[in-house]
Amino acid sequence: MRKRGVSRFIEVLTGNFRELIKLNLLFCLCALPSVAAFAAGFLGVLTSLMYLIAIIAAYPVGGAASAYLFCITKLLRDEAVYIRHDFKRKFIENIKQAAAPGILCAAFVYAQVFLWWPLIAVGMLDAVRIVAGAVFLLIFGMVVPYIFLQLAYIDLKTKQIIVNSVLMAFANAPYSFMGALFGGIIWIAFLLFLPESLVVAPLLLLFGFSASWLLSMMWVWPVVDKQFAIEETLQNRAP
């Protein structure tokens, strides 16, 4: 019988540390062109053009996210994961369908940077913007994992996947909330303690996304698996 909670997290983390680092680096590689263009625009280098390039360059992000979660959930199911093969296969399978969700997610993250930058930079942000930003960020964190998990496992049209994701996120609100909270806690802590937290930035680039997604999937994957009987279906297909 599989362990649960913290014990399960530690078990997967310690048993698959190298694989999680590889996944993290692959995702960073896919997101790098978009993030680099956005950073250049944010710093004032051909601002409008760079922002446009950042959105266009986010095309592979959705495919990378779905491939990422496919590999993470294989680890949670105690299946052997061949990172290059599994990530590449799912990335190629999903890149077209996942492109629009990935671009929209990138645009949302960039919008959040603009929203929270006054607080991060000078400690000034009105209460209304803080509350509104926090609510939208929470909803985003609750819904998005369901989108990319379904893209990885379920053959449905994108519109139906999004509808399903919203319904599942709120129908299973406690799990979705904990998934969003634990998935984002590393990044929230990093932002709250800037600039001192910059010393751990290299560690986040090496492992941060894997830690976040693993923490999130501990809560979200059971919901999706129960809804679609994914693990049972895969076991029945096995020779």
Report, as an integer, the average pLDDT of 65-70: 97
Non-local CB neighbours of 15 within 8 Å, separated by 6+ positions: none
CA distances from 12 to 50, 51, 73 (A): 39, 38, 10
Rounded CA separation 169/138 (Å): 11
Separation of alpha carbons 195 and 185, rounded Å: 17
What whole-number distance in Å separates Cα of residue 98 and Cα of residue 113? 23
- What residue spans define the domains of the chain? 5-237
Confidence grade of residue 239 (pLDDT, cut at 50, 70, 90)? low
Token couple for 14: 């310690």
Q: Which residues contact 60 (CB under 8 A, 6 or more apart)?
A: 30, 91, 95, 99, 102
d(CA 31, CA 219) in angstroms, rounded, equals 25
pLDDT band at 160 (very low <50, low <70, confident <90, very high): very high
User: Are the C-beta atoms of residues 218 and 8 closer than 8 Å to each other?
Assistant: yes
Mean pLDDT of the chain: 91
Written as six digits, the tokens of 203 are: 């560690």
Cβ contacts of 1 within 8 Å, gap of 6 or more: none
> Is residue 4 scored above 90 in pLDDT?
no
DSSP H helix total and E strand total for the chain = 11, 0
The mean per-residue pLDDT over the stretch 122-149 comes to: 87
Q: What per-residue confidence (pLDDT) applies to 184?
A: 93
Q: Return the number of other C-beta atoms located less than 10 Å from residue 100's C-beta.
A: 13
Asked whether 207 and 13 are in contact (CB, 8 A), the reply is no
pLDDT bin (cut points 50, 70, 90) of residue 121 is low
Distance CA 103, CA 62 (A): 7
Q: Which residues of 58-87 are buried (b: 16+ CB within 10 A; e: fewer)?
A: bbbbbbbbbbbbbbbbbbbeeeebebeebb
pLDDT digits (tens, 9 = 90+) for 229-238: 999 888 877 6
Using the 8-state DSSP alphabet, how is residue 152 labeled?
H
